[in-house]
Amino acid sequence: MKSNHSHRPYTFAALILLISAELILLYTLFSQKLPGALPSFQETTALAVNASDSNSKSFIKWVDFDVTAEAMRQALRLDVDSYNQTPHLNWLELLAYSGARCGGDFSRYRASDMDQLAEKLREGSSMEELTRDMKYYSYYLEAYRAVLGGMVGLYDIQIPDETTGEPVWVTKYGLKAFSPIARNFPYHDFDDFGVSRSYGFKRQHLGHDLMGQVGTPVIAVESGYVEAIGWNQYGGWRLGIRSFDKKRYYYYAHLRKNYPYHKTLQEGSYVQAGDVIGYLGRTGYSRTENTNNIEEPHLHFGMQLIFDESQKDGNNEIWIDCYELTKFLTMNRSETVKNPDTKEYYRVYQMKDPAVPGGAPEQNYLFLR
């Protein structure tokens, strides 16, 4: 007994030394990777790599996307207004600067700060010199590029001719992503990301619900390809669409019973932003296919970020809060029309997105004359 007691103080002291050594090691790793003071706990979670795994790849493990719709609209306006000018203000760089300035907490964001940044850039300052002392600017730029990288650019789209009303082609630069709910269809929502769910097992709600009417056309937010289609006991009839740069996986769930998808879609199909891809419903929460077990009809819309394919499935998935993003996307809602014979909805105005390999698909349009 004496022998055992005599070792307890030594064991406790050794444990303290071991923990201290590990903390010093982690500090050193962070200091080498990101020079300067350690970030907040939230930022540490987002930036950290598994230091205990010698085979660990260096890629972002978590993103808290807190950018407001107001900030996105302001950054987009500055970007579009300066297109074909020198300097051309990049909206992702503007947002990353704002994120680094407020530590990712956009409740501290002020529109005047972004306007002042834009003015400094117009006066000849470079983003590189303005962000030289911002330790986490590069992180926010990579994170926000992952979320928003496919949403702004050049594209061709049809608009109605002012005289004849017939569709004519124009080339535009700006927002080419769309709201997941078609124009003229009502819906309501609130920020429900992270609330608890109990079906199957206790878990967090890793998406955003948009409550609407059964049969409301669901729209592809960004161009991509169908990676998953079919039944899931949690999401019911659901679609998974991957962006062409493979950074974003869009999840559309609880689609309509009996007729959930646009008839043109199958696994591997290309879609482009603004296409009708399915119809809002209330399927899910059952192992039995085609079951309506969701009380209120809604679209579950989710976005998963993928910096490395190991994050696609499993414990390392990154899902972001899409509430502010869907508010931002309401400025671009796809107009649709119903074919009276097939009852299928189609987009009214065609679009050609350069992001689509080999050109835009043409099967998701109804040509009206």
- 139 and 210 inside one domain: no
Asked whether residue 124 is domain-assigned, the answer is yes
Q: Is residue 236 in some structural domain?
A: yes
Cis-peptide, bond into residue 9, ω within 30° of zero: no
Q: Do residues 277 and 218 make contact, with C-beta atoms less than 8 angstroms apart?
A: yes
Place of tokens 């835009």: 360
> Are 131 and 231 members of one domain?
no
Range of the domain at 77: 69-148
Q: What is the pLDDT of residue 197?
A: 60
Contacts from 128-137 at CB under 8 Å and sequence distance 24+?
130/97, 131/97, 131/100, 134/97, 134/100, 134/101, 135/34, 135/35, 135/36, 135/37, 135/39, 135/100, 136/34, 136/39, 136/43, 136/47, 136/99, 136/100, 137/96, 137/97, 137/100
Within this chain, do residues 266 and 130 fall inside the same structural domain, yes or no?
no
List the pLDDT tens digit at each of the 369 positions of the chain: 433 333 333 344 444 444 444 444 444 444 333 333 334 434 434 444 333 333 456 899 999 999 999 999 999 999 999 999 999 999 999 999 999 999 999 999 999 999 999 999 999 999 999 999 999 999 999 999 999 999 999 999 999 999 998 999 999 999 999 999 999 999 999 887 767 665 545 556 788 999 999 999 999 999 999 999 999 999 999 999 999 999 999 999 999 999 999 999 999 999 999 999 999 999 999 999 999 999 999 999 999 999 999 999 887 899 999 999 999 999 999 999 999 999 999 999 999 999 999 875 655 554 443
The whole-angstrom separation of Cα 57 and Cα 129 is: 29
Number of domains within the chain: 2
Specify whether 195 is located in the same domain as 110. no
In this predicted structure, what is the pLDDT of residue 1? 40
pLDDT recorded at residue 56: 52
The whole-number pLDDT of residue 42 equals 42
Give yes or no: residues 144 and 221 share one domain: no
Q: Does residue 40 lie within any of the structural domains? A: no
pLDDT for the residue 2 = 36
Are 206 and 328 in the same domain?
Answer: yes
Reported pTM: 0.82
Considering only CA atoms, give the Rg of the chain: 24
Assigned domain for 26 exists: no
How much is the pLDDT for 360?
A: 59
* 254 and 326 fall within a common domain: yes
- Mark whether 111 and 222 lie in a shared domain: no
Does 168 reside within a domain?
no
Is there a domain that residue 34 lies in?
no
Q: What is the pLDDT of residue 225?
A: 98
Q: How far apart are CA 329 and CA 254, in angstroms?
A: 21
* Whether residue 136 is found in the same domain as residue 282: no
Is 2 inside any structural domain?
A: no
Whole-number pLDDT of residue 336: 98
Do 140 and 184 belong together in one domain? no
Both 330 and 197 in one domain: the answer is yes
| Per-residue three-class SS string for the chain | CHHHHHHHHHHHHHHHHHHHHHHHHHHHHHHHHCCCCCCCHHHHHHHCCCCCCCCCCCCCCCCCCCCCHHHHHHHHHHHHHCCCCCCCCCHHHHHHHHHHHHCCCHHHCCHHHHHHHHHHHHCCCCHHHHCCCCCCHHHHHHHHHHHHCCCEEEEEEEEECCCCCCEEEEEEEEECCCCCECCCCCEECCCCCCCEECCCCCEECCCEEEEECCCCEEECCCCEEEEEEEEECCCEEEEEEEECCCCEEEEEECECCCCCECCCCCCCCEECCCCEEEEEECECCCCCCCCECCCCCEEEEEEEECCCHHHCCCCCCEECCCHHHHHHHCCCCCCEEECCCCCCEEECCCEECCCCCCCCCCCCECCCC
- What is the model's pLDDT at position 358? 82
262 and 332 both lie in a single domain: yes
Q: Which residue's entry shows tokens 């500055």?
A: 78
Query: Which backbone phi and psi does 22 adopt, to 5 degrees?
Result: -65, -40
Residue 287 lies in a domain: yes
The pLDDT value recorded for residue 44 is: 39
The CATH number covering residue 330 comes to 2.70.70.10
